[in-house]
Amino acid sequence: MTTTPPRDAAGEPGSTGDAGGPADVDGPLRVPGGPLIPAHELRWRFSRASGPGGQGVNTTSSRVQLGWDVAASAALDEHRRGRLLAALAGRLVDGVVVVTASEHRSQRRNREAARARLGRLVAQALRPPPPRRRPTKPTRGAVERRIAGKRQRSETKRLRRPPADG
C-alpha cells in the first residue's frame, strides 16, 4: 500500500479545503449527518488508470481505491454500525466498503472524488427509512366517478359494434 503525499495537478504537494472535507485528502472524513471517520481508518490503494492522460497515463498511478472497514470502525456506535452493515451488505467484502475513482487525470482529484463518493454513500446508508405509507380507502365520489367512466366507455364501444341482425 502506497502512502505518498498527495500532489495537485501541477505536481506540488499540499492540501486545500476545510478539515474533514473532500479537498483535505489526508485528514479525517466528515460524513454529513454522520460520523467523523478518522484518517487512519481509511485505506488507500493506487493503480494505473485507463482513459485520458496522453503519454502520462501509462506511468502515473492516478486510479484510486478507498476502503473503510465498517465492521471494525471505532467511529461508529452499534446502532449506526448495524444500519451501515445492513444497508451496504451488497457492497461489503469482509466488512470493508471500497469506492473507486479514476475519472480525473490527477491522483489528487481522484482522491477527492473517492472521499466525496464514500461520504455520500455512508450518509445515504445512515439516512433513516421513510415512514411507511398507510393504505387508504378511495372516497365514495372517486368510486362513483370510476364506475361512471366505465359505463361511458362500455356504451361507446357498444355503439361502435355493427348492428345485430336478428
At 100 the three-state DSSP class reads strand
What is the set of domains in the chain, with CATH numbers?
A: 29-126 (3.30.160.20)
0.85 cut: is pTM over it? no
- Tally helices (H) and strands (E) across the chain: 3, 6
The answer to whether residue 10 scores a pLDDT higher than 50 is no
The answer to whether 24 and 15 have CB atoms below 8 angstroms apart is yes
- List pLDDT tens digits, range 45-73: 888 767 666 666 666 777 888 888 888 88
